[in-house]
Structure 1
Amino acid sequence: MNPNPRLRWKYAVAFAVVSTVAVEAVTVAVRFGAGHSAADFIATAPPLLMRIHHMFWCIPLLAVLPAVWQFQKTSGALLGISIGLVVSDLLHHFVVLPLTVDNTGWHWP
């Protein structure tokens, strides 16, 4: 194990930035590339797991985090991906959508 206490946080920040950009890019491409809204998608009755905002996918990652905390790189990566999922969802709903469609697009099933 690496004794550097900052290693985990370096990994967390790096993975947070990369996962935020990647997830938001995919979200924007799917949303605007296909020309569909969230309401259109929900109307197709997709499985529940596909209706969940992607920020909630960080919950299983965070649940595993205590088990791998001793491994700085792995725990930093999981923490960073979790942060990236949350930031991407919030960025999408409170910055991207208001600028592009003039509402937050926060649709609950």
Structure 2
Amino acid sequence: MDGRPPLFTPATAALFGELRTPGGPDLVTGSADHFARGFEHTPALYPFLDAGTFGHSGAAGSLGFADPANGIAYGYTRRRFGFPSGVGAAPENGRLAESVLRAAASL
């Protein structure tokens, strides 16, 4: 728009989605975690996503990710903590994210 190249390019998205720390223990949750450059490597949690997907889960079950290969972005927040730990993605995120991916594929 202003004649300058975009800051966020497909090459940048590929770097963000590249797995960097496979399966190391998360110091907060104690569970096995997978990180890319500054983001969680979301396909480790949701294998139905493209390998280049990146994002992060948060308190009370929230989750956000970008799946550049499928052209989708997903964001989910909850009003209340709905599960014991309150840390990480809520259990319903898998079903919701898979539904979003199926809906996007049908367009």
- TM-score, normalised with respect to structure 1: 0.26
- TM-score, normalised with respect to structure 2: 0.27
Q: Which has the higher helix share?
A: 1
Higher radius of gyration, 1 or 2: 1
Q: Which has the higher strand share?
A: 2
Q: Which has the higher contact order (CA 8 A, sep 6+)?
A: 1
